[in-house]
Structure 1
Amino acid sequence: MALTDKQDMFCREYLIDLNATQAAIRAGYSAKTANRTASENLSKPDIQSRIAELKAQRNDLVGINATYVLNRLVEIDQMDVLDILTSTGELKPVSQWPKVWRTTLSGLDVVEMTAEGNSAALLKKIKWPDKVKNLELLGKHIDVNAFKETVDHKSSDGTMTPQPTIIQLLPVEPKS
């Protein structure tokens, strides 16, 4: 089934912020029923296919794919603080940092502190990306299963049917 112009507009608007209700309103559906309409639209296979198609087109345009994401995770994993320090342990000027450092840090705080009659001192604080989360994402990509948090509920015969527990009673010697 071909999409109506309004449904196609809904798909395009949905990609803006992934907010289906707002996408429905922006596409011209009634604000009163936008929530219900959005839910109905997202349940339709043709609309799901169109959204997937539009996402793929957008990803191709910006060059984002699984290889890009994996390469970035590897870059982050291999970040070494020595890349941004001089031989005396001072921070290099930011312009001399490798690109991965300039594009990945969570934050960089520089505070100038002065005391009356003393010279100024700079306090520099670097906020690293979350390396543990990064490794978890890498592990999930290659299916390490080190981070798997599932419980296997299958019984020994491979079914989900619980097996009866057999309790062996041992004879009790009478007390004399």
Structure 2
Amino acid sequence: MQELNTKQTRFVEEFTVDFNASQAAVRAGYSEKSSRAIGCELLTIPNIKKAIQTRVKELSNDALVNRELIISGLLAEATNYSDKSSHAARVSAWSQLAKVSGLNIENKPHDDVTEFLRDLTERNAASRAVKGLLPKNHIDLDNYDNYGNRIRQ
């Protein structure tokens, strides 16, 4: 396998910043007019694909170490009952740990399945709107009973 040249190496570094091939090609020094085609072409070269995979693994390992350090620091603060730590600091640390672990999701309790389905559909529609997808408004929840069974008419 061939080694990557300077522009290709720079493309790999820039691509792993935002995963936008055409912008990475421009920032790596390729022509702005043909950046889209060059970016697509560069992504098909086996050496570049392998370099991108390696770089992503390196970045994720770095992120994992940072995440572990943050969690261990928060856990140390949350369980620190010495005179140097306050109750507010411990509560805040537990709150941050809950956010990091995904336990701090604000859900309201539901009385029946229909209410749950409505809430779930609304959250999914809001999520799709944020991601630029069209929400599915054709779901008629009034045709379901409290147990999620469809009412036949």
Structure-2-length-normalised TM-score: 0.47
- Larger radius of gyration between Structure 1 and Structure 2: 1
Structure-1-length-normalised TM-score: 0.41
